[in-house]
Amino acid sequence: MSWITLIIKADAEHAEVLSDALLNQGALSVDIHDAAADTQDEQMLFGEPGEPSGEIWQNAEVSALFERTADIAGIFQNISSLMPDGEQLDYHVECIEEQDWVRLTQSQFDPIQISHRLWIVPTWHASPDPAAVNLILDPGLAFGTGSHPTTQLCLGWLDQNLNLGDKVIDYGCGSGILAIAALKLGASHVTGIDIDPQAIKASQDNALRNQCDPSKFLFVTAQHALGSDASSGDPVDVVVANILTNPLMLLAPVLARAVRSKGKIVLSGILQEQAEEVKQVYQQWFDMRTVTSQEGWVLLSGSKK
């Protein structure tokens, strides 16, 4: 079986209109993406966790998947009538043949080496180094496959700085990858917190898959975190938060209270140009410094005063 994809170039003003119209024309699915993705002209869009960014790429492509028998010429003619003043649409058509989609998806994720002793390994791969600290993880609904620079920066910090017996909070735990890494690197207990219930479920499943001791971890939604280590409970040794700049600044008082005196805070999800602003916010509680950066993303760390 095969399908046909109709790909139309559009600006931000018309992309959503075209997307809705293509669905009305019988498209099986529609996707809006950056036409310049993976080039130096790629446009980065950022939104708060769980919320849309409210933006669309200025140079976008709208891709609509149709059954092979669809009348693409007639569909395109109907879509073109929506454009003002007879504006012409730039488009092309691609044929998609039947494939083993599971195998194709899996082929995009290989083991990732974080350090000489720390690897991220998808479940369908054998570990390149069975003696290493291997984080067994499947790409899924929650953020945190280990491929993003912000996750790798946090993993690198944990690998180099976590002490045996440390108590840790992973705020914005996503897939649980940082919490699991902390446990495997010697943390005595980890609390993972996220706004998304799916992330909590994914974190719990991944922790069990990695044979973590259930008595040493707790994953809770942010709504239920009140009264836990993250707010009024005993302060912990390390708080790591890999989210985004705006929530990091809003959460600063909460995260600061969660860290014991002389304890550490680790912040990521911060673009290079935002680092100083975040530092200034946290400086009232911590001696902050920029630790490292990767692909324009920065990792900040601080010691509680």
- Evaluate whether the domain defined by 2-98 bears CATH number 3.30.70.120: yes
What mean pLDDT do residues 36-63 have? 66
Which carries the bigger pLDDT value, residue 10 or residue 118?
Answer: 118
Tens of pLDDT, residues 79-109: 888 777 667 788 888 887 665 544 545 555 7
Spatial CA neighbour of 154 closest among 21, 5, 292: 292
Tens of pLDDT, residues 53-82: 456 788 889 999 998 889 988 998 888 887
User: CA dist 132 to 136, 139, 184, 193, Å?
Assistant: 12, 21, 10, 27
Spatial CA neighbour of 127 closest among 110, 144, 147: 110
pLDDT of residue 224: 67
pLDDT at position 250 over 70: yes
- CATH class in words for 108-304: alpha beta
User: Taking the C-alpha atoms of 38, 43, 48 and 53 in order, what is their torsion angle to the nearest 10 degrees?
Assistant: -120
pLDDT of residue 45: 62
What mean pLDDT do residues 34-56 have? 61
Tens of pLDDT, residues 119-129: 988 878 888 88
pLDDT at position 48 over 50: no
Spatial CA neighbour of 33 closest among 60, 51, 52: 60
Most confident of 137-141, 195-199, 296-300: 296-300
- Tell me where in the chain the CATH 3.30.70.120 domain(s) lie: 2-98
- Tell me where in the chain the CATH 3.40.50.150 domain(s) lie: 108-304
Spatial CB neighbours of 18, under 8 Å, sequence gap ≥ 6: 8, 10, 62, 79, 82
Angle, helices 177-184 vs 149-161, to 10°: value is 20
Beta pairing class for 259-271 and 297-304: antiparallel
pLDDT, the chain, mean: 85
Rounded CA separation 286/297 (Å): 21
Q: Are 57 and 16 in contact (CB under 8 A)?
A: no
Which carries the bigger pLDDT value, residue 280 or residue 224?
Answer: 280
Whose structure tokens read 């680092």? Answer: 275
Tokens in use for 78? Answer: 């109907």
Residues belonging to the chain: 305
pLDDT at position 266 over 50: yes
pTM of the model: 0.67
- Provide, rounded to the nearest whole percent, the portion of the chain with pLDDT above 90: 55
Rounded CA separation 139/109 (Å): 8
Angle, helices 15-24 vs 72-80, to 10°: value is 140
Which carries the bigger pLDDT value, residue 3 or residue 211?
Answer: 211
Phi, psi of 294 (to 5 degrees): -155, 120
Rounded CA separation 73/16 (Å): 21
pLDDT at position 166 over 90: yes
Q: Which helix (H) or strand (E) holds 176?
A: none
What mean pLDDT do residues 4-32 have? 89
Tokens in use for 262? Answer: 């002389």
Tens of pLDDT, residues 132-160: 999 988 755 456 677 789 999 999 999 99
What mean pLDDT do residues 167-179 have? 95
pLDDT at position 185 over 50: yes
Spatial CA neighbour of 260 closest among 282, 241, 227, 236: 236
